[in-house]
Amino acid sequence: MKIILIGFMCSGKTTISSILGNKLGMNVIETDELIRQKAGLTTDEIFQKYGEVGYRELEIAVAKEIKDILNIIISTGGGFVMNNITIGYLKPQAKIVYLHTSFDTLLKRLEGSFARPLFNNKEQAKKIYDLRLPLYKYYSDILIE
Ligand code: S3P
């Protein structure tokens, strides 16, 4: 089986997956990292060149490529749940863990973090948060506060 971490930007997916990987002796895959490798560009550059739609297409391609890998922890990008095809590739034989974080906590964390293309202002981010919340809940087997 595999463990997939989902959640909003700065919910702690990368940090938790690395701790979990060490504890369980399992390898960790970062889908954002694979996307960057595939495109040969940074996340910002991908958004600038291909837009969000292009980013999501790369996300689908990466999900398809790794769908048969088992005994692995997969840390996803915050928008992984935006497309049913993407998450659908990985759902079989997976436990999907949603790291739930309040919007206020995310705001505080994002202030001190590197720039994210989809987080240019608070209002836009809140809209994305509200849109995604039910999707994270829908796709997850386990919610961790
Ligand atoms: C995105 C989140 C980012 C990255 C990309 C898009 C999103 O990953 O995939 O910038 O749509 O929320 P993190 O959740 O690791 O920041």
**Residue 77 C-alpha to ligand 1 middle, in angstroms?**
4
**Residue 9 C-alpha to ligand 1 middle, in angstroms?**
6
**Residue 139 C-alpha to ligand 1 middle, in angstroms?**
17
Per-residue pLDDT of the chain (145 residues; tens, 9 = 90+): 899 999 999 899 999 999 999 999 999 999 999 999 999 999 999 999 999 999 999 999 999 999 999 999 999 999 999 999 999 999 999 999 999 999 999 988 877 665 666 777 788 889 999 999 999 999 999 999 9
Give the H/E segment covering residue 2: strand 2-6
Looking at residue 100, what DSSP letter applies?
-
What is the reported pTM?
0.94
Residue 119: closest CA among 35, 12, 47, 17: 47
Using a 10 angstrom Cβ sphere, with 0-12 exposed, 13-18 middle and 19 or more buried, the burial of residue 96 is buried
| 11 pocket-lining for ligand 1 (C-beta < 6 Å) | no
